[in-house]
Structure 1
């Protein structure tokens, strides 16, 4: 009879089977009793006890021990077929035989239990290995949930539910809706920042809740409810913690795969967009130059042009110039993003660069005077003067476009630690709500439907230039109205300036 068949027998049936095995052994030995010494018969009956202990269990082994002693006394000890004892020495034999039977049964049963436990552990380890291998190949969160649920259903006879955070970082049950108590407990574990004691909680009616802690953050909560009740939770807890760890690793791997794929797609899209912009800008630049030149010639020509025709030629020239400027910005942005711009750093005074930018803009700042506040001893910074001039031009031009006419543009220079911080403020409407976080993105405009000219490249170019210099740039709205852009440049250690030689004495 196989072990699986014996395990399905009830306790009474196993007891009866133990008695039957002892009786069968006695019946087999009884015909040859005269050829065997009593001690040989006792050994054969002890063998039956050991078999019963190994196959049927401890309680059945105890029953078999007493039954074997009784059968030995009744069939093999004179007077036979009677429980009477003719010699007192057989009483000692019975006692020793009973004790040995009980001891053999106990040891055999313990050995069998250890062997069964080892096989059970081996089977569970193999199952965990198979689960880990399956989770390593999982491509979606649904596959992780499916594999873990199937494993715990087979190995722990438990109901399983995952609570996975959505895009808004709110836990959502993967599968049937959870009870209010389970949802509340799962959210508490997910949001808790406590130690390991707070990451695994057993609740009546809910089961065991385990945090799916990854290397960087919690990836969800696993709820396990054994079908036989919560009494088995302490026994199952080590395995459940191992399963939760494997599930957390799989979920974190899927998260990083998704992040890597999104980053790769974004990089490829950015590269393709920059390539297209560069190509189109080069193709447009030549005809724009021709158009601007022809319009300029018409404007300056002393021919028989009417006033309206001359104004039209002037308008064509102005619009061609503005379009030419946009194309230049596109080309600059494409070169910056492609990393093809080499910085020609020299030690410069920022106030001089600011003055050059103001002079370059000219009439564009006619209604917006620029005020500059700086410390008495402004340190030099190592920058590319041409590119930094472009940064100030873009910031001043943006401020002039949106600020109220007649209001000044304030520039403040200050040293903050190892950085030289530049702040540019205006008195315009400020950045629209919700746009500050993305205001430096490519083609991003504060007001998408604004009538103000522009394509959303100025601040993007500023960010690229400042970051190429090792600095940072940020935007915000002022409490009393207006927009504020701050950027910082590394100060480093400027070269020492040798003092001029003093004039010779007595000359």
Structure 2
């Protein structure tokens, strides 16, 4: 409380406020005098008339700022009692026997009343201020709990610092000269220029380097700046700096620092919680990568063994029996070798795609792509491998733009289409449909064949072939596992289901950017 009272003493009053307080003091004095004259005239109160003026002193202390007006009201009340209500009336006479002592006691009582009233008033203001700050601190804590990025944490911190202290605020994450994130909230039009000036930036750098409050403070040496800079730090680690720019620098006192330190602590808790969540996410990502590698090894053992065995068997037959086999058999064996070689190339493409998105530190590079062009390219590549395949394509008439890695999404479409062609076991066409739903672009690949074993739907994208034979499920493991990895890397979702009328539907969705 002392800090706050000291702060209130140091607030510089404008001439308008001083004149208004003087007017209120005179008005209360005149009302008290008029009331006292009336009650004396009516013989309601003849003694202790000074109590009326003491009540006026209390009112003056409440409605004005500072001690001075209560003190002036006290002196005025003592003089008024002497002038209006002490014999000889309407004349000042301080030479009466014992009156100086009475005058001093009355003055002391009125001054004490003024002081107590002012103290109670300031205590009430302090209580209201602390209640407001406590409420803001609770709101800030709740807001920080929902923040999931460092930018959002700094934005919330800057907003609540500005609301709680009624000042302009600038926030830095990292070194202020080269910050990772920088946010500013200005109250006055000129505050943004001030906080971005080289001098203020230099003082912010000092706060970051020394891990001490710098700028306009009570105890530190002056830096000829206008802002106060508080480091966001815990122990010996400094995360950044918060800068406060008050309209009146005299308001920057210890009470502000104490409350600011609590708010800074809330920010630090949010930063550390965010770091823990990112670490947990990284661990989960590593776990998924390890799971994908295991699935990849299983898929490779299933998907590469059969075509290699077929190639070796066919080529050995041609080498060892080339004079004994017919031309028709010769052509069939060459066709089998060619087909299996193409399949191996397809597998290598999938393996390279997985390596691209699962290597340490690799990220999917997204660019805005036209969905119709990606679909057309994928269909063209599928038709090269399966010339007789029938594929019905449905895309919206409007142009849809989606951020993606075009090569990887083409690979997903190719894998899903080839999977439907190979495993549907039907002569009916495959349907590829693209449409927009909310803020996503939905791709569906539908076949009208035998569908998916219900027991495998939940694990079909995990690269697990179950108990099926290797040959009958060639490509199902690694292809679908790759599709899931690519879609998740694009922050999308993918799932499979059976149709009630027969057949399977594979669906994946990508977040959409921009408008159609």
Which of 280, 284, 309 is 1:264 aligned to? 284
**Contact preservation (8 Å) 2:151, 2:181:** no
2:3 aligns to what? none
Which of 232, 242, 246 is 2:262 aligned to? 242
**For each residue in 1:52-83, what CA deviation from the matched residue of structure 2 results, as whole angstroms up to 9, or x when unmatched?**
22332411111111111121112211222222
2:40 aligns to what? 33
CA-CA distance at 1:282 after TM superposition: 0.8
1:251-400 correspondence runs (5 A): 251-272=271-292, 274-296=294-316
Per the alignment, do residues 214 and 290 of structure 1 end up closer, same or farther by CA in structure 2, a change over 3 Å counting?
A: farther
Structure 2: tracts of 5 or more residues without a match: 1-12, 185-191, 216-222, 352-357, 359-516
CA-CA distance at 1:121 after TM superposition: 1.9
Find the structure with the greater CA-based Rg: 1
2:224 aligns to what? 204
Q: Distance in 2 between matches of 1:96 and 1:230?
A: 36
| Number of residue-to-residue matches in the alignment | 308
1:98 aligns to what? 107
**3-state SS of paired residue (2:240):** strand
Q: Distance in 2 between matches of 1:137 and 1:79?
A: 76
**Contact preservation (8 Å) 2:170, 2:183:** yes
**Contact preservation (8 Å) 1:186, 1:209:** yes
Q: Distance in 2 between matches of 1:187 and 1:171?
A: 14
1:219-230 correspondence runs (5 A): 219-229=239-249
TM-score by length of 2: 0.50
Q: Distance in 1 between matches of 2:94 and 2:279?
A: 87
1:20 aligns to what? 27
CA-CA distance at 1:125 after TM superposition: 2.0
CA-CA distance at 1:185 after TM superposition: 5.4
Q: Which range moved further: 8-17 or 70-79?
A: 8-17
Q: Distance in 1 between matches of 2:135 and 2:181?
A: 31
CA-CA distance at 1:188 after TM superposition: 6.2
2:54 aligns to what? 46
Aligned Cα RMSD in Å?
4.3
Higher relative contact order (CA 8 A, sep 6+): 2
**3-state SS of paired residue (1:219):** strand
Q: Distance in 1 between matches of 2:49 and 2:179?
A: 74
1:55 aligns to what? 63
CA-CA distance at 1:187 after TM superposition: 5.4
Per the alignment, do residues 219 and 86 of structure 1 end up closer, same or farther by CA in structure 2, a change over 3 Å counting?
A: closer
Give yes or no for the alignment of 1:132 onto 2:145: no
Per the alignment, do residues 216 and 273 of structure 1 end up closer, same or farther by CA in structure 2, a change over 3 Å counting?
A: farther
Structure 1: tracts of 5 or more residues without a match: 1-5, 331-336, 338-507
TM-score by length of 1: 0.51
Q: Distance in 1 between matches of 2:150 and 2:230?
A: 17
**3-state SS of paired residue (1:40):** coil
Per the alignment, do residues 201 and 246 of structure 1 end up closer, same or farther by CA in structure 2, a change over 3 Å counting?
A: same
CA-CA distance at 1:302 after TM superposition: 9.9
Q: Distance in 1 between matches of 2:75 and 2:165?
A: 38
